[in-house]
Chain A
Amino acid sequence: MSKFTKAFLFASIIFAPFAANAVTVASWGGAYTESQKKAYADTYSDPGSIVFENYNGGLGETRAQVESGNVTWDLVDVLPADAITGCDEGLFEDISSEIASMGVPGPDGESIAEDMEANGLNYHSGWDCCVPQIFWTYVVFYDPDAFPGEKPDSMADFFDVEKFPGKRGIHTWADGIIQKALVADGVAPNAVPTVFANQTGAIDRAFEVMDKIKDHVVFWSAGSQPLELVKSGEVVMAVAYNGRVGAANLAEGENFEYIWEGQVLDQEYLCLTTGAPNREAALDFMMHASSPASQAEQAKYITYGPMRASGIPIIEANEPWGPGGVDIMPHMPNTPERLKVSIVNDPQWWSDNGAEISERYSAWMGN
């Protein structure tokens, strides 16, 4: 046996136990995963036992792992529609009783589900397999310098190129923008999901509103692009992930204004993969990550809002909460008064209609 082989065997004996016990969390990477590492892993009783791996969203890899019986991801950070599909398909394990019994309660004993309902969410089957993470939103923002006179402050303004001339930055997929279009057309933000679900022709109506600005749109496809578009003056207003705008304002000294009206709140979940190799440890970490304290902690590092309503008072009471003594609440999407003018996305409706709408949206862009 060569020296090298011996060293290798030795090393694998030494390191194997650590590698085998580490809980692997698949997440989106970038600043978001950084914030998870700081807020969830570093505050955990055993930070070394959590390993993050990057992926690009969707259930493709998870399904391949579960189907082949070769599961390497214990936990997956997913969008709500994927939480629903994954739970329905059995890609994620139904742990509803564990969540109810092990979940960290809020200060007044609120359960995870009660906390989410307080934020305007309704039960869906994703709740059986997953614990909540953050609210992220599609929000419109602009550089106030671009509007010396009157400043836009509503969705109607965003869709009105005569009142506020200039290009708009919009993403290349439908989710987020078609809801905003209805708000511009006079639907109350809170009513948008029910209008889509119950009124035939609501989708056509949204597309008609979007037609008005179609010739004034620059389409973006990566989260950093809208910031670049507004900064360089390519567009005057853009839809973006609010966390990106918050980071630009807090860390890069920008002075962007948000239009909170018609922001589309979407959810984010941490789910347990069926057949996860470190099931027990992963469950324990899930409960830690979904505690109100961890969720509030995360807001220090990225301006996404805690999905548990009891996370918000922790931030409010301890301002300035952000690093370097900055206030975080001005950038939180789910304060009570902002929730009043927000659209809370209905993931079940999207998981029913998402594919069809995205095809329509593409056809619309291309025409």
Chain B
Amino acid sequence: MADLAARESPPLLSWHSGGAPNLWHRHRKHLQVNSKRHKSIFLHHDVNIQVHHCFWQSFTRARHSALQSFRAATSAALTSTPAAATSLPIDIAIETVVAILVILVGLVLGASPLRPIQWREWAGKIEREGEDGFKDNNGQVNRDYLGNPFEFIEGRPNFVDIRKQRNEFAEWVKGQGNQQK
């Protein structure tokens, strides 16, 4: 289902160049709803979108400053306003900051889970959760997961039935004696 939803999402450039905020917001809501079920996939998806968005911002900004410097150059003869060439429209600034914040949330949520550093808590976590407590976001068990530190105690052999063995030995000794006769 995750693949299907990811395939259905519209191409990235169409929101940017089309400038359709409605579609963008609807899709973001869709992402938020789905992100609970397919957390890791959609987080990466979200971060990808935002990184694209951020690069788009820099392109917009460059285009804007190129346009401004062109205008300033052409109208330099009429009016001398160098401040107009360096000022940034407020919407570009807001969009940049919002994009950074959304990427930030995505990256923080996508960071691999922390582990307790106290030995007793760490061993207790292994005891309670086993491998499930040491998976990264892709569902793979971490490479430096060593397993239960008390494995050598858990796997000890059972008690030896010494009476049975003594009887067997006695039978065998009797058998030896019978054979020799």
A joins B in a complex = no
Task: Give chain B's interface residues, CB within 8 Å of chain A.
Answer: none
Task: Give chain A's interface residues, CB within 8 Å of chain B.
Answer: none
